[in-house]
Structures are given as C-alpha cells and as structure tokens.
Structure 1
Amino acid sequence: MSVKPRILHVFPSFEVGGAQRRLVSLINRRQGRFTHSVFAMNGCYDALSLIRDVAIPKEELPRFPDKSGLSAIRACSKLIKEYTPDLLITYNWGSVEWALSNLLNKKCPSVHIQDGFGPDEQTREKLHRKLTRMIAYQACDGVVVPSHTLETIARRSWHIRSRKLHYIPNGIDVERFICPPDRALMAKLGLENDHRIIGTVAALRPEKNVGRLIEAFAQVSELYPKARLVIVGDGIGMKPLKMLTERIGLYDKVIFTGNLDKPENIVSAFEIFALSSDTEQMPLSVIEAMSAGLPIVSTDVGDVAEMVSSQNAPYVQEISAGALARNLSALLNRPESGKRIGASNQAKAKHDFSLEGMIDAYDVLFMDILAKNRK
C-alpha cells in the first residue's frame, strides 16, 4: 500500500447532491491524509468544481462503458485493476456492479455507502435488487448508512452483521450557515427585504418532487402577497417545473437560482425551509437549514422527524401538498413561533450534526479497514 492511501470513490453520478457534497467536505477538510479519486459512471462531474484538490483532473476521467450484467462487472474489475486503489468506496444502487466485481475477484478492501433509494423503490425494495444488495454488500468490509431508517433496512433486509454496519450521521460546517444573506444576490434574484421567503435546496430529480412544493405554495401565496418560493438546485426537472409555475400563474413568485456554490448566501434569507420529497434518509439540506436557524416544514420521510427539534417535529407530516400548505400557512401566521423553532433547530444542529464529528468517524473507519487489510 502507498504511503498516502489511494481511495477510489465510485458514484452513479457526481452531480451536485447531498452525497457528493458530503465527499467534497471530507476531501477539502482532510486533503493530506488520503489521495482521493472520483469516478462518475454517467460522466457527470458537476460537483468536481467544489473540490479544491482532486487526484484525477476532469478531462482525464473516463466514462463508464454502456454495459450491463456480467459485461459491466468485468468492466468494473478491469477499471479497479487499472486504478489500483488501496480502498474502494461505492455509493448507492447505481454502483453495485463495482461491489460485485470486487466480490468475484477482490483486488482491494471496499466500503459501500447507502444514502437512500430512487423513486422506483420509495415504497419498497425491488426483490432482485434486495437480493443483489444482500450478496454485494455483505461481502464489503464495511457498510455505512446515515439514517436509522436505513440502519434497520441494512440489518433486516440485507442481513449486514453488526461489526460491518456503521451508522454515521451526516454533518456540516454549522457556523458556515450562521451568516447574513448576500444582498447583492437577493437583488439579482428580484428578492426584497420585505419578502417572506419559503425556500428549498434540492437536486431537481423526480423523487425530490419539488412540484408538490410548488402546488403547496400555490395554496398559500394568495393569502400572503409578499410570499416568495426560492428553489436552489438544478437537474432534469428544471424545465418542467418552470413550465408548471407559468401554467399556474406563479412565474413571478417562484425563483429558480440553479446550483449555488455557496447556498448559505441565500438560505439565511429564508423564513421557512421546505422539503417535499417522496423519499429521503438524512438530507444535508435540512441540517443546513437547521444551522441557519430556520423552522422546517417537510414530508415525513427518512429520519427528518428525528433530525429536527421536538418543537419542530409537528410540522413534519404526511406526504401531500395539502399538509405542506397547512404547515407553511401555520408558520407564516406565527412568525415569532417560527423563530423560536429555528433557534431550537440551530442548537440541535450544533450538538448532533457537526462536520468534524462526521469526518472523524469516516477517517477512523477508513483507517481501520486499511489497517486490517494490511495484516
């Protein structure tokens, strides 16, 4: 093994999302400990620009060949042999071929990180995927989950043994989100000081169901003329979501910012943070909003109800636009209550979801697995 261990991170896509931003934080904070490489199977490396130093320049990164089944597993095996990493880290279902290829012909220790499920498995796992996960993930040296919901699934569905299963909650730099908003950015987006901003931060993918949030906002916007909905993020859903706002006459009240390198520049201007997803586990965006001292209105998905403070928990309810609208309206009616809830959320974020705590946990895990495999 090299003096500085080489870690290869394999993502289905390295778009700007929660798992990708978590890795960015790990790399930027601890650049000297490991040599990191990132491989995106679909060739999307949008989040690479957030990393201050990455081992493989973007222009040299290959695209995963269009293969499936045994051909894909062989291709993964070949690529692992070419990279010769000391540790392989795979992410979610989209990288399962890599875990299987290392199982069939193990070239290095491996860790699988499962952040959640796609829209096609939001209610239950597909049987063939469940069986494949059970085989692939049991053979890994470690399996990491960021939520208690996933921890239960890993034990009961994939039968991961306790010594291999690691619950590591997501963490962020809380202090980064305790800041004033960027007034120049707000002016550029047409936001004024007296606007009551409901905001969200999400990759615009189907499972995030931002359309549900727009529908909920439509139900409250007439009652609150100064209300605005700010959507931070980008993705395949951008165009249809913009068409939706135009069709229902909200194009001047719904602002799409696209991806922002520093979401804290606008999140701190929100009055309420809203999450409308069909499926989540432990969304970073919720921790960021808590750090900024915001109340959270959310669908009841993953660990969100446990993540927020006890005062905020009643505003995490059923998966429907109606429930979101009711809770948004309740907080808009009682802004002082929202501020108290936001303060309790911020205190909980500082105590439970620190970036250093998360990074230390990953460092210990990676070094422990590398040490065991040197024996």
Structure 2
Amino acid sequence: MGTAFIAARQIDGVEPPLIPVSLAPIQSPPAPRPLRILTYLYSFAPGGVERVAARLHAAWSGAGVDTQIVLADASVAPPQPVRAMRQVGPRARKSRFAGFVALARGLPAVIDADRPDALFCAGNTYTALAVVLRLMLGRACPPIVAKISNCLVRPDMPPLLGLFYKIWLRIQGRYIDHFVAMAPAMRAEIAQRTGVTRDRISVIPDPALSAGDLVRLASARDAVVRDRPGRHYLAVGRLAPQKNFSLLLQAFAQAAVEGDTLTILGDGVERAMLEQRAATLGIAHAVRLPGHTDPLDNWLAQADVFVLSSIYEGVPAVVIEALAAGLPIVATDCCVAMPDLLGHGALGTIVPNGDCAALARAMTTIALDDAVVVAARRASAAAFTVEHAAGAYLDVIRALASARQASARDAIAVRALAAP
C-alpha cells in the first residue's frame, strides 16, 4: 500500500494544503496461459502418421505450447524424444479396437482435467475417435483439428462399403471443426467428400522432414558410389493390401534382368503371401523383405529407383524422403496429390493405378541420377519440413481457440442480458 498527496483547490491565491490519499498497489494482469494442445494416438508403432505427430508435438513444445500426447499403448518408444506423454489406463492396449475403447473411455476425464484448447487428430485412422469424443462431450469438447492423411477416394472398396464410407465422411464433416489438407489438390477432394466449406480446410504441407533431415538424406546419397551391376529397386510400407506389393512383385518379375534386386522395407499381415508370390514368380532370389527399418538414410542412398505401388495414399511421407535424397521415383497415380508431388512428371514417373505393364516399363526406363533433376527433387522436398508446418498448424489452432472463447463470452453476455 502506498500514499499519494493531492492538492486541494486553491482559494484566494493561498497555496492549498496537501491531502494524503492511500493508493492500492498496481497489479499487473495475469499472464495468459500457454496454448494447450492434446494429441491422441493408439501407439508409436511404425507409421508415418504417428512419426509426424511426434515431430509436430516436439516443435510445438519447443515453441512454448503446452502440448501432450495421450496413448492407448505407451510401451513402444517414440521415434524421437517426446515430453508430456501419458498412457490412458494402467495397461497397454495393443490391438486397434482395444486402443479405441481405452481412449474413448479415458480421454474425457483427461480433457475435463487439463482443459486443452484443441484436440489434434493426426490422421484418417483417428477421425472415428474424434467423432465419438464430440458426441460424448458435446459443447465441452474442444475444437478438433483433423489432418487428412489418406486419399478420400477409395477404389479398393466394394460398392456397398463405398456408399457407407461416403456417408461416414459426411458425418466427419458435421462433427470435426477443421480439416488440414497436405497438398492443394486435396482441398477440393475434402470439401466435396465431407461437405464442409473451404474456409474449414487449411492446406499445410505434410511435415515429413526437418531441415536437418534434408541435409542428412542428400549427404548420405552423395557419399555413396552406386557402381553395382543391375538396377536396385526400393519400396517402403506396411505389408498390407493398400500398398499393393503383389503388383510390384509382378512388375519386377516382368522388368528384372540379371543383377536387378528389389527390397521392400516394412512388415505386416501380407508377409507370408508376398514371400510365396515371389517364389511362384521365380524372383525370390532377387527379392528381400528385411522388415521395418528406421531410419531410411542408407537404404535411400544405396537404391537406384524408389517405387510406390499403392492403391491409395494421402501424401506419402516416404516419397518426400525419396525426393529429399534425390532418388528417381516411379509411383502409381494413387492420390490427387501425386502429380503435384512429382512435378507433373518432371521429378518422377507416374503410372496408372494397377497397371502392371506400365509400372514395369517405368521401372526400366526412368533415368538415373540426372544432376539437374536431383537438385530439383531436393528443392521440392524443402516445402515439407516441420519448421514450416508447425507454425502454420499453430495459427489454425489459435484461430479456432480464439473463436471458441469469443463464442463462449458472447453466450455469457446473452444469458446476462436475458436474466431478470
């Protein structure tokens, strides 16, 4: 408490007396709390979606954001050091269904206790849980930002399932606040399939890499002399139907000559089938399935051509890594983003989805290590860094949080005016 002296009004030229007045100490307004973001994942088991989520989480934390990751299974080590990570429930839930149930049961209490400003839905795999949380929590649910990590056009689905999928996408559009497209071409697809207006869709290139990754991948490839006989093809992904590695094996069988090899990195339910398929095609001696391997630096450095045979994708992170290395790329037309990603054919070869003959032909004819094209591939990969994307995501989330707070204030004001 301080004291100030105020002069009384002057009368007839007489100097006025000073009147003491007590002053309360000046108090600074409380500092605003940091932005809070909650990301939920089943686990850190190998997957591009989870790897990107961990990278964004680390960047947001470094920017002073109060961010945490909640998992159903925290027993799998994250792909990089992660702070503020927790598991719902005492026991890890290994299966996808058990993880879904555990998160649906545990997240409402976490949200109620921590009051995050937004929920980050890291990919298509997690949108069902986003919808469930919105239905469970109603207006108490924070704004949900969902990254669309896969193409929304699914040619692999039978007609009836495809119809239900279209309805499901419309439901997502009703309950998810904001969508993030990983490439400009995806924006129109998201708007059409979910029925949301374009102001609810932001375009943020997928942060598949960091600035350091760009240098590391390019340097690793530049340091290797590839003077072996034959062409050495590399593919990466889960051994699952989506990746269509059966088609790749068939194309390799058509294209391969003496000395050629094919390495498929990844693991999954189709391993036994693919091994049998390679044996049936007579190429088992030239095909390797080493399992999941991370990082990919050495594999990308040693390979002559990267091949993507998928039926559908979003913006495949592994293609971005191949671009950063400068590797020649052959890919199926598996998503609306692929033409932009490969410079409409300038940075790689795009073949029709499911066309084995075209895939085999492209694998044998794509040019190897043209210096000008290598430089262009690496330059294009620079757009897909976490240094660029992290801030763009925060701008979106802050805008949503501010809009929610303003709406809440308006609602309070309306109730106050309506009170008797």
- Checking the alignment, whether the CA contact within 8 Å between 1:296 and 1:312 is kept in structure 2 is no
RMSD after superposition? 3.5
Q: Aligned partners of 2:105, 2:90: CA distance in 1, in Å?
A: 19
Q: Which residue of 2 aligns with 1:241?
A: 274
- Checking the alignment, whether the CA contact within 8 Å between 1:234 and 1:258 is kept in structure 2 is yes
Shift of 1:193: 4.7
SS at match of 1:335: coil
- Checking the alignment, whether the CA contact within 8 Å between 1:113 and 1:145 is kept in structure 2 is yes
- Checking the alignment, whether the CA contact within 8 Å between 1:77 and 1:98 is kept in structure 2 is no
Letter in 2 for 1:79: L
Q: Deviations over 1:219-248 (max 9, x none)?
A: 122x2x222112122222223222222332
Question: What is the aligned counterpart of 1:170 among 206, 220, 223?
Answer: 206
Q: Which residue of 2 aligns with 1:89?
A: 120
Question: What is the aligned counterpart of 2:387 among 336, 352, 356?
Answer: 356
SS at match of 1:280: coil
Question: What is the aligned counterpart of 2:85 among 31, 43, 56?
Answer: 56
Letter in 2 for 1:217: F
Q: Deviations over 1:52-82 (max 9, x none)?
A: 11433569565399989xxx89982663234
SS at match of 2:194: coil
SS at match of 2:150: coil
Q: 1:286 aligned to 2:316?
A: no
Q: Which residue of 1 aligns with 2:71?
A: 39
Q: Which residue of 2 aligns with 1:220?
A: 255
Within 5 Å, which residues of 2 pair with 1:140-179? 140-171=176-207, 172-173=209-210, 174-179=214-219
Q: Do the aligned partners of residues 112 and 103 (structure 1) sit closer, same or farther apart at CA in structure 2, a change above 3 Å counting? A: farther
Shift of 1:262: 1.0
Shift of 1:276: 0.2
Q: Do the aligned partners of residues 83 and 62 (structure 1) sit closer, same or farther apart at CA in structure 2, a change above 3 Å counting? A: farther
Shift of 1:141: 2.5
Shift of 1:288: 0.7
Unaligned segments of structure 2, at least 5 residues: 1-31, 407-420
Q: Deviations over 1:120-175 (max 9, x none)?
A: 65468833333333233333331112134432222122221222211212132322
Q: Aligned partners of 1:165, 1:113: CA distance in 2, in Å?
A: 10
Q: 1:307 aligned to 2:346?
A: no
- Checking the alignment, whether the CA contact within 8 Å between 1:275 and 1:299 is kept in structure 2 is yes
Q: Which residue of 2 aligns with 1:260?
A: 293
- Checking the alignment, whether the CA contact within 8 Å between 1:77 and 1:102 is kept in structure 2 is no
Shift of 1:340: 4.3
* Farther-moved stretch of structure 1 (264-273 vs 248-257): 248-257
Letter in 2 for 1:179: S
SS at match of 1:180: helix
Q: Which residue of 2 aligns with 1:80?
A: 108
Q: 1:206 aligned to 2:234?
A: no
Letter in 2 for 1:18: G
Shift of 1:312: 3.2
Q: Which residue of 2 aligns with 1:98?
A: 130
Question: What is the aligned counterpart of 1:135 among 171, 180, 183?
Answer: 171
- Checking the alignment, whether the CA contact within 8 Å between 1:202 and 1:233 is kept in structure 2 is yes
Q: Aligned partners of 2:295, 2:314: CA distance in 1, in Å?
A: 23
SS at match of 2:285: coil
Q: Which residue of 2 aligns with 1:22?
A: 52
Q: Deviations over 1:234-279 (max 9, x none)?
A: 2222232222223323223112232222111211221111100001
Q: 1:114 aligned to 2:153?
A: no
SS at match of 1:81: helix
Q: Aligned partners of 2:324, 2:253: CA distance in 1, in Å?
A: 27
* Farther-moved stretch of structure 1 (281-290 vs 168-177): 168-177
Unaligned segments of structure 1, at least 5 residues: none
What is the total number of aligned residue pairs between the two structures?
A: 358
Percent of matched pairs sharing the same residue: 23
Asked which structure has the greater CA Rg, the reply is: 2
Q: Aligned partners of 1:300, 1:66: CA distance in 2, in Å?
A: 29
Q: Aligned partners of 1:195, 1:128: CA distance in 2, in Å?
A: 47
Q: Aligned partners of 1:305, 1:201: CA distance in 2, in Å?
A: 20
Q: Aligned partners of 2:302, 2:185: CA distance in 1, in Å?
A: 31
Letter in 2 for 1:354: T
Q: Do the aligned partners of residues 310 and 153 (structure 1) sit closer, same or farther apart at CA in structure 2, a change above 3 Å counting? A: closer
Q: Aligned partners of 1:253, 1:65: CA distance in 2, in Å?
A: 34
